[in-house]
Amino acid sequence: MSQIPDAEALYVDLLAGVKALMRADTKLVGVTSGGAWLVGRLQKDLGLAGAPGIISSAMHRDDFARRGLSASAQTLLPFDVNGADVLLLDDVLYTGRTIRAVLNELFDFGRPACVRLAVLVDRGGRQLPVAADFAATRLMLPDTQLLALARAADGAFSLQIEENK
C-alpha cells in the first residue's frame, strides 16, 4: 500500500498555490464534496468576502445511469458566471471525468472568461485531457484503489485509501 500523505500539510501547500493563482476578481468554486470542503476553508483562510461557489457533477456524469443522483450538495454559484474568472477546487484529480462533468455544469450557468483547476492530489491515470494548474502533490496508486478526502468534526482533513469495488 502507498504511503498516505498528511492532508493537513497538503492543505497548507494548496492554500499557497491558490494564493498564487488568485486574481482580483477570481471566484472560488469547489466540486462536491471534497472540493466543497476545501473551498469553504480556503475562502475563510484567504479572507474572501461572501460564500464560495459549490458545483456538482451529478447531472453531467457519463456514468449517471449507473450511479444516479448522489446525496451530495447541488450546484450553488452565488455570482454571475458570465465573464467570471473561476478557480475550480477538487480534492483528487484522477481520470478527468468529474472535471469534464463539472465544466458542463458550469457552462449551463454561463460562459466564464477563464476556468482554472487546483487540486489537493493529482493521482495520474487520466482518461481525458484534463490537467490541474496547481496540485499540492502527485501520488500514483493502482487502479484497484480509491483515494478519498475525509473531514473530521473539527474540520481537520485526512486522506484515506480504499479498495475499489
Where residue 165 falls among pLDDT bands split at 50, 70, 90? confident
Q: What is the mean pLDDT of the chain?
A: 92
Where residue 58 falls among pLDDT bands split at 50, 70, 90? confident
Which is more confident, 62 or 111?
111
Asked whether the predicted pLDDT for residue 70 surpasses 90, the reply is: no
User: Given this structure, which CATH class describes domain 7-60+73-163?
Assistant: alpha beta
Q: Where are the domains of the chain?
A: 7-60+73-163
Residues 38-76: b if buried by 16+ CB within 10 A, e if exposed: bbbbbbeeeeeeeebbbbbbbebbeeeeeeeeeeeeebe
Reported pTM: 0.92
DSSP, collapsed to helix, strand or coil, labels residue 157 as strand
